[in-house]
Amino acid sequence: MSLFHIAKKNRLGIDIGTASIKIVELSKESGRFKLENYCLLELESLEGGAVNAAERVSNAAVGSDWDANLAKGIKEAMKKSKMTARDAIASIPSFSTFSTVISMPYLSENDIAKAIPFEARKYIPIPLSEVIMDWTIVNVSNTTNGNMWHKEESSKTPTVEVFIVAVPRDEAERYRSIMKLADLNMKALELENTALIRALIGNDLGPFAIINIGGRSSSILIVENGYERISHNYEVGGFEITKAIARSLNVSLKRAEELKRNLGLKNANADMITEAMSSLVDLIVFETHKTIHNYEDAKKTKIGRVLLIGGLANMPMFIEYFGSKLGLAVSAGNPLARLLFPPQLEPLRGELNATFSISIGLAMRDF
């Protein structure tokens, strides 16, 4: 045993999505995070998977066969990838949680803590005894002029914005059970959006919009001062776009997926693939525009950046098409900018950024 060598303490980020499980293993080197390993497991490859994977992920009961299959899949994927860490941060999808930002008079943190349960009842549709709830102050402002409240202005009445999040206890226990079955130590359960903000935004105060186009759904997230302000989910994702291509061209889903990934939106004028995709992509753009406009109008501010992640971000001409339709500059999210990683992975940067943003953000938590 060396007296001067400090063993690396690696951490896992495990993103259990509706179509796949993404895992990264990070260490920390000279104050920076380092990508040690990564792997992806398609849920339809699991025993009993395929068609209803999204429903099973969100609705399966604790201890079910599906949960056992998830745990088994995680163990096998980690073994094949030669991952060694056992401490894990797992994500829970937004549709399984309740979160909101509320405004209230600011007296003291102690008084806020007492008032939160009463306020939370207005926004959480199930009894508070059935959830694990947390909250944090995200902004303190003066009601008179909207400026940040300072001690010299203490004669004016300040308000405080509080971000509240609640996770159903049975869902939290279910994820803990999955991690235990996978022989992992779940250090924390975290919202997908919180992990995304950590991975993509860092210390930049924004405001930003993050568009996450997943396999089964898309989410539109507004971030300001490092915290989630608005999050909307829509049941349109990459799988629906693949199905639209398959129907339009009368090809299999597998072939449609290949065409989507390889050709994308290259021929924006006449290509049949573009025609099959455009209505669904335009719907995501429309919802994004509406969410951004409503926030800008309510807060009297402007969204400075729009970041896009998810498998579609790597599709040829997708980001360019999305930005032109939205009328704003759109760029791909780049969590690898905050990581050290082997140079041989550089050709895969785009794919890794689009696919592993959440799991990278998870593994970066509380190192």
For residue 145, tell me if it sits in a domain.
yes
For residue 160, tell me if it sits in a domain.
yes
pLDDT of 3 > 60? The answer is: no
- Rounded to an integer, the average pLDDT of 331-348 is 90
Taking a C-beta distance cutoff of 8 angstroms, is the pair 176, 88 a contact? no
Q: Band of the pLDDT at 211, cuts 50, 70, 90?
A: very high
pLDDT of 53 > 60? The answer is: no
The number of residues in the chain equals 367
Taking a C-beta distance cutoff of 8 angstroms, is the pair 293, 344 a contact? no
Taking a C-beta distance cutoff of 8 angstroms, is the pair 164, 133 a contact? yes
**Which pLDDT value is given to residue 152?**
45
Backbone angles phi, psi at 24, to 5 degrees: -125, 155
pLDDT digits (tens, 9 = 90+) for 65-85: 888 999 999 999 999 999 999
CA distances from 308 to 23, 196, 288, 304 (A): 20, 11, 11, 14
Residue ranges with strand state E in the chain:
11-16, 20-29, 32-42, 87-92, 98-105, 131-142, 158-168, 185-191, 208-213, 218-224, 227-234, 305-309, 330-332, 339-340
Tokens representing 204 are: 């930049």
Taking a C-beta distance cutoff of 8 angstroms, is the pair 275, 290 a contact? no
pLDDT digits (tens, 9 = 90+) for 130-176: 999 988 888 887 644 444 444 444 456 688 888 999 999 999 999 99
Mean pLDDT lowest for which of 58-67, 260-269, 296-305, 342-351?
Answer: 58-67
For residue 30, tell me if it sits in a domain.
no
Tokens representing 14 are: 């495990």
Domain count, the chain: 1
For residue 285, tell me if it sits in a domain.
no
pLDDT digits (tens, 9 = 90+) for 231-249: 888 888 888 888 888 888 8
Mean of the per-residue pLDDT values for the chain? 83
Tokens representing 133 are: 């709830």
Question: What's 133's domain CATH number?
Answer: 3.30.1490.300
**Which pLDDT value is given to residue 79?**
92
**Which pLDDT value is given to residue 47?**
62
pLDDT of 56 > 80? The answer is: no
C-alpha span between 35 and 68 (Å, rounded): 28
For residue 313, tell me if it sits in a domain.
no
Q: Report percent pLDDT > 70 for the chain.
A: 87
339 closest CA partner among 200, 136, 220: 200
pLDDT digits (tens, 9 = 90+) for 5-52: 444 689 999 998 877 899 999 998 888 899 999 999 888 777 655 434
For residue 179, tell me if it sits in a domain.
no
For residue 110, tell me if it sits in a domain.
yes
Q: Which domain holds residue 122?
A: 97-168
What's the pTM value of the predicted model, to 2 decimals?
0.83
For residue 234, tell me if it sits in a domain.
no
Peptide bond into 117 cis (omega under 30): no
